[in-house]
């Protein structure tokens, strides 16, 4: 049987591109499959200030472009082809392409990432990256001395609300119930933080702004139906994320809430299948840790291939 590649990488965000860089530089027979443009969520990030090596920061687009160019310098083959399914049950892994046909490989790195849940209200898309953010760790320093709103009551929203108070003067937490989902220990910290004000039983109905970006948020109390408005310069939508796992056979490998479980070598529960980046089950999702995991995943795949021979 002819096997198409030693290694296939699925996903062309920072994790996939890093795995691709290492694999191509190690002269593995590798191809990276991406459904659209390379860069992943970074492409939707206005400005990146926390990726090492760029002391002045750079735009998400520039970072994606530089990562792609660096991988291509080592002749990484990147194919724009969506995957619609895969079979991981055998030693040789098979990927089903949307355009028809299959590709086979000895090792696979899954790096398809995740996407933040959107609140789907007027103004959200219009002001994305102009005051609407899905990552407080990334964007909090842009809100020094300002007033911002956090939507959500889970661990992410509550932890990030605390982080935001290091920069913002005032943080409103807007939650649709009168009780937080976040763990008690995180709750105790934010309840003691006098920069944070909770607005309970309330959902946002619109984000408003002008050519400077976000200027306010419109709200509705779900118990009383009362409408209100708040002047804010930033809205952090932190209501959970979804793994991009639609093409992955979740009955064939171990997952947690749809995120892939890996060990410290980035190996999944299936021999020869590794995963890295936002798709894996973990607490922190940053470009820098995705890149680190992808490095480990590629070196582990290389080690696995060496032991097959
Ligand atoms: P999450 O636990 O699913 O919480 C999502 C929050 O957003 C909930 O409070 C939910 O409200 C609210 N929400 C969802 N859809 C909404 C909508 N359409 N409108 C308004 N509010 C909405 O998500 P997460 O906080 O991102 O956490 C994801 C996972 O990572 C969790 O397992 C979490 O424990 C873990 N995590 C752990 C840590 C840590 O241990 N330090 C830190 C961050 C994340 P309801 O409560 O009413 O459903």
Residues 247 and 158 in one domain: no
Secondary structure of the chain: what % helix, strand, coil (to 5)?
25, 30, 40
User: What is the token pair recorded at 72?
Assistant: 């291509």
**Are 126 and 86 contained in the same domain?**
no
- The number of distinct structural domains making up the chain is 2
Is residue 103 located within the same domain as residue 246?
A: yes
Does the beta carbon of 130 sit less than 6 angstroms from any atom of ligand 1? no
Answer yes or no: do 45 and 76 share one domain: yes
- The dihedrals phi and psi of 211, each to the nearest 5 degrees, come to -70, -5
pLDDT reported for residue 49: 87
Q: Do 100 and 182 fall within a single domain?
A: no
| In the predicted structure, residue 46 carries a pLDDT above the cut 80 | no
pTM of the entire predicted model: 0.82
Residue nearest (by alpha carbon) to ligand 1 atom 7: 239
Looking at residue 274, its pLDDT comes to: 98
Question: In Å, how far are 41, 43, 45, 89, 120 from 64, measured between CA atoms?
Answer: 9, 7, 10, 33, 27
Please tell me which residue in 46, 65, 135, 201 is annotated as part of the active site: 135
Cα dihedral sign for 42, 107, 294, 237?
A: positive
Q: Is 125 exposed, middle or buried (0-12, 13-18, 19+ CB in 10 A)?
A: exposed
Which residue minimizes the CA distance to atom 43 of ligand 1? Answer: 156
What does the alpha-carbon distance between residue 52 and residue 199 come to, in Å, rounded to a whole number? Answer: 37
The yes-or-no verdict on residue 247 having pLDDT over 90 is yes
Q: Is 139 a catalytic residue?
A: yes
Of 211, 237, 263, the one marking the end of a domain is 237
Residue 244's pLDDT band (cuts 50, 70, 90): very high
164 Cβ below 6 A of ligand 1: no
Q: Of 191, 220, 237, which closes a domain?
A: 237
Is the CB of 176 within 6 Å of ligand 1? yes
Indicate if 165 and 264 belong to the same structural domain: no
Using CB atoms within 10 A of its CB, is residue 9 exposed (0-12), middle (13-18) or buried (19+)?
Answer: buried
Q: What average pLDDT does the chain have? A: 95
Q: Report the alpha-carbon angle 155-12-270, nearest 5.
A: 70
70 and 208 assigned to the same domain: no
Query: Are 203 and 269 in a shared domain?
Result: no
Catalytic residue (choose from 105, 139, 278, 298): 139
Residue 309: pLDDT band (50, 70, 90) is low
pLDDT tens, position by position, 219-230:
999 999 999 999
For residues 194 and 173, membership in a common domain is answered with yes
Whole-number Å distance between alpha carbons of 23 and 13: 15
**Where is the domain boundary, 215, 237, 259?**
237
- Answer yes or no: do 245 and 207 share one domain: no
Distance 181 CA to ligand 1 centre (A): 7
CATH number of the domain residue 136 falls in: 3.50.50.60
- 207 pLDDT exceeds 90? yes
Buried b (16+ CB within 10 A) or exposed e, 72-83: beeebebeebeb
C-alpha distances in Å from residue 87, one per residue of 9, 97, 246, 266:
15, 12, 13, 19
Q: Which domain holds residue 266?
A: 5-115+241-306
For residues 156-175, average pLDDT? 95
Distances in whole angstroms, Cα of residue 142 to Cα of each of 46, 131, 209, 251: 11, 10, 17, 42
- In tens, the pLDDT along 55-94 reads 999 988 999 999 999 999 999 999 999 999 999 999 999 9
Q: What tokens were used for 34? A: 């991406």
Q: Is 202 in the pocket of ligand 1 (CB under 6 A)?
A: no
Residues 30-42 have a mean pLDDT of 93
Query: Which residue's CA is the closest to the ligand 1 atom numbered 19?
Result: 119
135 assigned to active site: yes
User: pLDDT at residue 271 above 90?
Assistant: yes
Q: How far is the CA of 184 from the centre of ligand 1 (A)?
A: 14
Other CB atoms within 10 A of residue 201 CB: 16
For ligand 1, mutation pick of 156, 199, 205, 241 (most atoms within 8 Å of CB): 156
Same domain for 97 and 133: no
**Number of Cβ atoms within 10 Å of the Cβ of 157:** 25
Is 105 among the residues known to form the active site?
Answer: no
189 lines ligand 1 (CB under 6 A): no
| Phi/psi at 96 (5° precision) | -100, 125
Residue with CA nearest ligand 1 atom 48: 181
* Per-residue pLDDT tens over the stretch 135-152: 888 899 999 999 999 999
Instruction: Tell whether ligand 1 has an atom less than 6 A from the beta carbon of residue 121.
Output: no
Looking at the fold, whether 97 and 152 belong to one and the same domain comes out as: no
The pLDDT of residue 151: 98
């Amino acid at each position: 049987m002819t096997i198409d590649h030693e290694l296939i990488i699925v996903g062309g965000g920072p994790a996939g591109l890093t795995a691709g860089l290492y694999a191509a530089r190690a002269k593995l027979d590798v191809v990276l499959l991406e459904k659209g443009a390379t860069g992943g969520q970074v492409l939707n990030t206005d400005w990146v200030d926390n990726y090492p090596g760029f002391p002045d920061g750079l735009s998400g687009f520039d970072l994606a472009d530089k990562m792609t160019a660096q991988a291509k310098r080592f002749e990484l083959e990147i194919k724009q082809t969506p995957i619609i399914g895969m079979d991981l049950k055998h030693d040789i892994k098979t990927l089903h392409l949307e355009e028809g046909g299959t590709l086979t490989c000895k090792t696979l790195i899954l790096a398809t990432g995740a996407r933040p849940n959107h609140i789907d209200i007027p103004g959200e898309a219009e002001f994305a990256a102009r005051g609407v953010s899905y990552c407080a760790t990334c964007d909090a320093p842009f809100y020094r001395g300002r007033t911002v709103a956090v939507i959500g009551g889970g661990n992410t929203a509550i932890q990030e609300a605390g982080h935001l108070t290091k920069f913002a003067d005032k943080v409103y937490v807007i939650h649709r119930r009168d009780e937080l989902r976040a763990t008690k220990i995180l709750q105790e910290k934010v309840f003691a933080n006098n920069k944070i004000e909770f607005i309970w039983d309330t959902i946002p109905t619109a984000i408003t702004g002008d050519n400077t970006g976000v200027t306010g948020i419109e709200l509705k109390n779900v118990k009383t139906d009362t409408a209100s408005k708040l002047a804010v310069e930033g809205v952090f939508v932190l209501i959970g994320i979804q793994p991009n796992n639609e093409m992955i056979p979740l009955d064939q490998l171990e997952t947690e809430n749809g995120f892939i479980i890996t060990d410290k070598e980035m190996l999944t529960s299936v021999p020869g299948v590794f995963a890295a980046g936002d798709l894996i089950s973990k607490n922190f999702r940053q470009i820098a840790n995705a890149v680190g995991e992808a490095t480990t995943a590629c070196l582990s795949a290389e080690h696995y291939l060496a032991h097959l021979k």
